[in-house]
């Protein structure tokens, strides 16, 4: 079972959250109403959540409490001696392995609400590995968060796949905490603007499914991370000061309102591998709504058989609300629904 009754024992259950956004992309942080998640590692905790807490995920992410593009986080105890907290991310399809906008928003929430004591460095245990956030504080406010992500690397360059209704499309695959297929906007005949929202979903998912069919994914260390998370469609920036525009279509057709922190990490790995970016050279990426993250290659390493970089991704977040959700076990749609 993975329904509501596994985590909700009473006729009425209360779940408290704090909502925030980073560059426009939402994050719903669960603060009360869920028992501690068992597991000696974050991947074990993620497996437990997938098996036992999927009803909770649907309740918080799906309508009527959420929507098709909602994103959430469960905070866990750290699993490393020097970790400050652990985190599991959730979306409309399931449980993510890492989330860059989520790191920025979660750290902002944790510090501004005193979930964590005041600190300028926050060490997070994520399913993809250790992520270290560097915080710019002004009084009690978090102004910026720059996180040092897990090693990020190109996985496959200059591949092609036959995409229904589009034709043969060139793509790259890269990892930045999750695997993404990168395509050029011109190659899939779409503009990276809000009014193309539904076309972006359709073509991004078509590319994702075509790449999944033609190019199996294997993470160098973890089978749990061996899957294609989404498609990132890239194009020129729409405003001065930015270097590029990214639109990420991930999970089950979600559209990231932010530039996608893990996606920018993977993008940096591609740029660096092709000699288009140097160490310590800022690369600013804007989103479909014009918000920005700035990425920098701050180091290089070997990750399994891959030449990898250490990316630093900077952005900001704001708290948008506090919620006390009520869930009745006799509600026929207690675990929600999605209309796209």
**H helix or E strand, kind and range, residue 44:** helix 42-52
Given phi > 0 = left and psi -120 to 50 = alpha, else beta, which region is 97?
alpha
Burial 213-222 (b: 16+ CB within 10 A, else e): eebebebbee
DSSP code at position 35: P
Residue 163 contacts by C-beta under 8 Å, 6 or more apart in sequence? 169, 188, 203, 206, 207, 210
Contact 111, 135 (CB under 8 A): yes
DSSP code at position 37: P
Cα 90 from Cα 97, distance rounded (Å): 9
DSSP code at position 5: G
- Of these residues, 37, 99, 188, 285, which one is catalytic? 99
User: Which residues of the chain form beta strands (DSSP E)?
Assistant: 12-22, 25-32, 72-76, 85-90, 121-126, 129-138, 141-148, 153-163, 167-175, 179-184, 228-235, 244-250, 254-255, 283-286, 292-303, 306-315, 317-328
CA-derived radius of gyration, the chain: 19
> Which tokens go with 83?
């970790």
Please state the separation of Cα 114 from the chain's center in Å: 24
The question of whether 248 is a catalytic residue gets the answer no
SS3 85: strand
Question: Active-site residue numbers?
Answer: 99
């Amino acid at each position: 079972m993975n329904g509501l009754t596994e985590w909700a024992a009473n006729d009425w259950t209360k779940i408290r959250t704090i909502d925030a956004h980073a560059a426009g992309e939402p994050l719903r942080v669960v603060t009360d109403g869920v028992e501690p998640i068992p597991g000696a590692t974050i991947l074990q905790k993620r497996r437990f959540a997938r098996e036992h807490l999927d009803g909770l995920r649907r309740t918080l992410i799906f309508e009527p409490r959420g929507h098709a593009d909602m994103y959430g986080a469960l905070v866990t105890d750290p699993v490393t001696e020097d970790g400050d907290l652990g985190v599991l991310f959730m979306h409309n399809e399931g449980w993510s392995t890492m989330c860059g906008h989520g790191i920025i928003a979660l750290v902002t929430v944790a510090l501004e609400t005193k979930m964590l004591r005041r600190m300028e460095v926050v060490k997070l245990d994520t399913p993809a590995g250790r992520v270290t956030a560097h915080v710019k504080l002004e009084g009690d406010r978090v102004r910026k968060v720059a996180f040092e992500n897990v090693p990020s690397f190109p996985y496959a360059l200059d591949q092609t796949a036959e995409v229904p209704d589009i034709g043969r499309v060139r793509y790259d695959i890269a990892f930045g905490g999750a695997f993404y297929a990168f395509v050029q906007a011109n190659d899939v005949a779409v503009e990276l603007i809000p009014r193309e929202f539904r076309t972006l979903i359709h073509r991004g998912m078509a590319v994702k499914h075509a790449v999944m069919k033609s190019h199996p994914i294997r993470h160098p260390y973890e089978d749990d991370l061996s899957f294609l998370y989404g498609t990132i469609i890239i194009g020129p920036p729409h405003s001065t000061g930015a270097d590029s525009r990214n639109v990420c279509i991930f999970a089950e057709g979600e559209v990231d309102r932010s530039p996608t922190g893990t996606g920018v990490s993977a993008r940096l790995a591609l740029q660096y591998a092709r000699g288009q970016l140097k160490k310590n050279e800022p690369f600013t990426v804007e989103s479909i709504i014009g918000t920005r993250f700035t990425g920098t290659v701050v180091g290089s390493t070997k990750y399994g058989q891959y030449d990898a970089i250490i990316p630093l991704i900077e952005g900001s977040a704001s708290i948008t609300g506090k919620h006390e959700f009520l869930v009745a076990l006799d509600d026929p749609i207690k675990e929600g629904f999605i209309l796209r």
